[in-house]
Structure 1
Amino acid sequence: MYLTKCAVCATELGLTLGKKCGRCSTRYCGQACQEQHWKDGGHDKLCKKIKKAGGAEQYNANEKYAEAVAVAAEACADDTKGQTCYICMEAVHSRTREGLVRGCACGDRDGVASGRTGIAHVSCLAEQAKILVAEAEENNLEYKVKSRRWERWHTCSLCEQEYHGVVKCALGWACWKTYLGRPEMNETRGMAMNLLGRGLFAAEHHADALSVSEAELSWLRRRGASVNDILIVQSNIANTYAYLGRHEHALQLKRDVYSGRLRLNGEKHEDTLLEANNYSTALTRLDRFEEARSLLRKIIPIARRVLGESSDLTIRMRANYAIALYRNDSATLDDLREAVTTIEDTERIARRVFGGAHPIVSNIEACLRDGRLALRRLRLRETVRGDVSALRDLMAAMPPPGSA
């Protein structure tokens, strides 16, 4: 992870606390841990190696990158078997010996027919992004062009869908190890930190993702960043809180971020709609279903109008709305029928947009199973209740025993 903890006892140091090894910059909470690491932790053997790699942060990033690439290649092995990288045209990378990955929507939609497989080596994708960003910086290209080129670090150039899961994590480490050596307040270094946090989150390394995002927030505040940039990172932190089970903290922060977006951008802006959806998710996780449903009924028509039916945000909003319906113990048959109909329609759209292997589609399929199960159970309860009521009415209408 991003180095914010003591190398021995894991005490949180933030960005400035503790002390560092004078040679390689490995961080410690104090003299005792530093001495213990040298005597018993093997640091005496690693210190020169770490310094040669560029210091503790660079050494750590290189090691974590190699691990993440191996994990991603193994996870994608079935999808990439017998394939070659669309960039270097090799199956096994000639220099790194790494395997192939596939973490986008290529091949799930029209990829087979068009030859767009999206299969590549992480190092090839990283090198491609690195070259494009370097050219933009060297030629002082305008901001929009730079931003578009930066997208190569997280978005497939073929299908234009973001990478996900362990592939996104590997690219996050690739990006961080590329730019971490820049000056502490350098913008590109901060963007790399953001991408690393998002990649760790995508691979479900939530504790590490939180550490990175909190470090990024501190960096932004010291840099005097805009309200927009602060809100982005606060949103990431709130989402991570939720996955760590800190739901009350997540709800409070998501509510604050949504309010901030309303003030900054207005209710029709995409960023505001995103935070409204995040807030609704936090409400649902705390079983505040009526509040979540009320909010989603307000924002879904806006999202459909502004973003369109095929937007991933619109799709996720509709899925969250269905969840708020079918998880509610007070749901009626009409509520559950609406939930199932909504998810069925959303699943068809999501499959067309992302392909069958995307996590969004998998999550919606799970919601559809849960929604249908909830509907069947309520129908059964209503049937049984009706049968019992009918039996009671019949028994009440029968004459008492022994009467003529």
Structure 2
Amino acid sequence: MILTTCAACAAPLAHDAPRCVRCHTRYCNKTCQHDHWRRGHKQMCKKIHRGGNAEQYHADKKYKEAVAVAVEACADDTNGEEDFSTLRAAINYMGSLIQLQRSEEAKALYRKTLPVARRVLGESHEMTLGMRTNYAMAFCADPAATLDDLREALTILEETARTARRVFGGAHPSTRNIEGGLRQARARFALRELLGQAVPGELAPPEPQLAAAATPFAAASAIAGHLGMDPQEANAAIEELSELKARDPEAFAELMQAALSGEGADAGDQDP
């Protein structure tokens, strides 16, 4: 996908237009680049870079959006809510919504379709287990998820993993997928719980620019990132943080504050 307009003001781009050094997002001039950085690009830059830089990232995003629309249209064109193809479309749509970070919509769709899947397919059907897994992962992907939300997700995934192992065996792809989600949920829950122990009450940084770090997942990502790890490797971060907290509570508190305030970030986090 070739980007032809400025990311900040949508003006047409010249062939030599300036771009972000890390993620290659392009701008019509340096003023727009600096303005876009202050208005939120700083928080998105690493994500765009990990997604293959600006053009690949936006192409993937457009593809996922198109898939979501197509799946929704397919669901509307089937033979009723109990039809197998309708249920299959619903679970695919849920997955697309989660990828697009539309967690509330994904959870609402789950609450509507799960009773139908249970009635038509049964509790242990692969599609029913997939719906329950998607529902739990919607909580894990939600930046506003509370500790109780993550606890609910963890409980669902533990139950679903037990059922999958009993019905399909440990080597089945569905079982491995569910257990992978369970590992992620355990990591995020444990790290969120650790953060909660370190900072009584709600995390509420006073500076407006740190507001994003007040959400559980953002805080966990900040800690893992400060340790030089991808958030997907949060299990290792949890172990290291737990050991540090037990060994040196003061150093742990300083590390957490540094991560939440952005100290120690790499050079790519500086203003462009």
TM-score (norm 2): 0.50
User: Per chain length, whose mean CA-contact separation is higher, i.e. which structure has more relative contact order (CA < 8 Å, sep 6+)?
Assistant: 2
Instruction: Tell which structure's C-alpha radius of gyration is larger.
Output: 1
